[in-house]
Amino acid sequence: MSAEGMTLPKVIEEAQILSHEAPIAGVDILTLASPLIARSALPGQFVQISVPADAGYLRRPLGVAEVSREAGWIRLIYREVGRGTEGLAAMWTGTSVSVLGPLGRGFDTSLKHPLLVGGGMGLTPLLFFAAEHPNVSVLMGGRTRGEVFWEEIYRPHVRECFVTTDDGSYGEQGVVTTLLPKLLAEGDYDGVAVCGPPVMMERVAAIAAEYGIPCEVSLEKRMACGLGACLSCAVDTKSGRRKVCKDGPVFPAAEVYYAS
């Protein structure tokens, strides 16, 4: 495949682990000294990060959650779901990992007042959006109060924060799509950005379309190379087959949920 047919990395950087925290069991917040990537990363982009040799050979794609361009660090928030991420979670502060990125197409941040909608770990790339935009609101959902630990992280960056929980232990009982129609009817939002489980994203996209509000979705697929060469992350869109790592991970919702 020619260079034109693939997305080449901007940086491969040896990044020192500055801190590793666990807000809840099985979820990790990893902060890396990565000044080159921090300088150029945009909301919605991701990196491919190496894992210990005994945890697998392929890099793992992780969305960029926050950056400090001045201090030169990036922050990744991920769930331990297999050998790779479990191996990464076991790495000590002070050790280094190889980081390739930033990769992919990010969100449209030119909106005046976007509403970010996230469920579970889908709140990771949306956090970067919130931190970089002066006027965003967020609607977040989780199964229990413990799963919306995100609220404390988001609060300094957003105008308003709306929370739903499946069990009603915090915020409004239900899922994000329970509350979304009311917010879109009463708010002044000029766009929606969503990341989370596919069923949730498809329903959010449909509701946004009902209200005539543009919507972008951030897709998650298994990736091997992250460069657009291996085709492992290809998806069907209105414009034909597209690669999530190269043409996304952010797409206009109408392109990928056109059958809704």
Instruction: List residues forming the annotated binding site.
Output: 77-79, 84-85, 225, 230, 233, 245
Residue type, 259: A
Facing residues of 12 across strands?
100
| Cα distance between residue 116 and residue 108, in whole Å | 12
How far apart CA 24 and CA 207 sit, in angstroms, is 31
Antiparallel, parallel or unpaired: β 114-119 and 96-103: unpaired
DSSP class of residue 14? E
- Is 182 strand, coil or helix? helix
- CB-CB neighbours of 241 under 10 Å: 10
Q: Supply φ then ψ for residue 15, to 5 degrees.
A: -115, 125
Annotated binding site for FAD: 77-79, 84-85
Annotated binding site for [2Fe-2S] cluster: 225, 230, 233, 245
Closest CA to 147 of 125, 175, 128, 126: 175
